[in-house]
A and B are shown apart, each in its own frame.
Chain A
Amino acid sequence: MTSINIAIVDDHQLFRDGIHSLLAANDQYRVVISASNGTEFFESLASGVKPDIVLLDLTMPEMDGFEVMQKLKTAYPHIKTIALSMHDDGNYITKSVRSGAYGYLLKNTDEDELLSAIQSVYRGRKYFNQEITGKMINNLSAESETKKLSIKEKEILKMISEGLITKEIADQLFISTRTVETHRVNIMKKLNAKNTAEMIKKAVLTGLLE
Chain B
Amino acid sequence: MMWLISLIVVIVIVVISLFFYHQFRQALDERMLLQLSSIMHLKSLQIEDYVQTQLKQFDQLEPPLLSAFDDYQVNNLDSVCIGEIIGAEHTPKLYDLSWCSLNKSVLLGVVKHDEQGVRLHLLNHKTIQEILLERTGMGESGETYLVGADHTMRSLSRFFPDEHPLNLPAATDGVLQALSGRQGSGIIKDYREVPVYSAFRKLNIPGIDWVILSEIDVEEVTIPLSRMRNKLILISIAVCLMAIVLSLLVTNLLTRPLFRMRDLLRRMSLGKFDLVSTPYYQTVEIHEMFTALDELRKSINQAIQYSSEIGNMNLSAQYQLSGQHDELGKSLIRMKSQLAEYKRHEKTSHQVAKRSLITGQENERKRLAREMHDGLGPLLTSLKLTIQALDLDSIQRKKVNGLIDHTIAEIRRVTYDLMPPALLDFGVGRAMLHFVEMIRKSSELEIRYDDSTKESGSAISPEMNICLFRVCQELLHNAIKHSGATRVALSITEFDEKVSLYYSDNGRGFDTDKPGSGSGLKNIEERIAVFDGYMHIASSDNGTTVEIELPIL
Q: Give chain B residues whose Cβ lies under 8 Å from the Cβ of A176.
A: 536, 538, 545, 547
Rounded to whole Å, the gap between the CB of B178 and the closest CB of chain A is 130
Q: Give chain B residues whose Cβ lies under 8 Å from the Cβ of A30.
A: none
Q: Kindly identify which residue among B421, B429, B448, B450 contacts A89, using a CB–CB cutoff of 8 Å.
A: B421
Inter-chain contact total with CB atoms closer than 8 Å: 124
Check: A77 CB closer than 8 A to any chain B CB. Answer: no
Q: Give chain B residues whose Cβ lies under 8 Å from the Cβ of A92.
A: 421-422, 425
Among B139-147, B266-274, B404-412, B510-518, the stretch that binds chain A is B404-412
CB closest residue in chain A, given B388: A111
CB closest residue in chain B, given A61: B374
Among B95-103, B218-226, B375-383, the stretch that binds chain A is B375-383
In whole angstroms, what is the CA distance A179 to B543 when docked?
17
Q: Give chain B residues whose Cβ lies under 8 Å from the Cβ of A17.
A: 382
Does B385 contact A22, Cβ atoms closer than 8 Å?
Answer: yes
Mark out the residues of chain A between 145 and 193 whose CB falls within 8 Å of any chain B CB in the assembled complex. 146-147, 150-153, 173-176, 178-179, 182-183, 186
Does A146 contact B451, Cβ atoms closer than 8 Å?
Answer: yes
Query: Do most interface residues of chain A lie in helix, strand or loop, or is the interface mixed?
Result: helix
Does B437 contact A138, Cβ atoms closer than 8 Å?
Answer: yes
Q: Kindly identify which residue among A10, A95, A110, A146 contacts B452, using a CB–CB cutoff of 8 Å.
A: A146
CB closest residue in chain B, given A139: B433
Rounded to whole Å, the gap between the CB of B472 and the closest CB of chain A is 15
Q: How many residues of B contact A (CB 8 A)?
A: 48
Check: A100 CB closer than 8 A to any chain B CB. Answer: no
Known interface pairs A146-B455, A179-B502, A183-B493; A90-B378 also in contact (CB < 8 Å):
no
Check: A88 CB closer than 8 A to any chain B CB. Answer: yes
- 3 closest A-B pairs by beta carbon, nearest first, are A18-B385, A12-B378, A14-B382
| Listed A/B pairs (19) with beta-carbon separation below 8 Å | A18-B382, A18-B386, A86-B373, A86-B377, A87-B422, A91-B430, A92-B421, A108-B404, A111-B385, A111-B388, A135-B437, A146-B452, A147-B455, A173-B504, A174-B504, A174-B545, A178-B547, A182-B500, A186-B493
Beyond A18-B382, A86-B412, A143-B455, 20 extra complex contacts between A and B, CB < 8 Å: A10-B378, A18-B384, A21-B385, A59-B374, A86-B373, A86-B374, A87-B421, A87-B422, A88-B412, A91-B431, A92-B421, A111-B388, A142-B433, A150-B452, A151-B450, A152-B450, A153-B452, A174-B545, A175-B502, A179-B547
A binding-site residues for B, Cβ under 8 Å = 10, 12, 14-15, 17-19, 21-22, 25, 59, 86-92, 95, 107-108, 110-111, 135, 138-139, 142-143, 146-147, 150-153, 173-176, 178-179, 182-183, 186
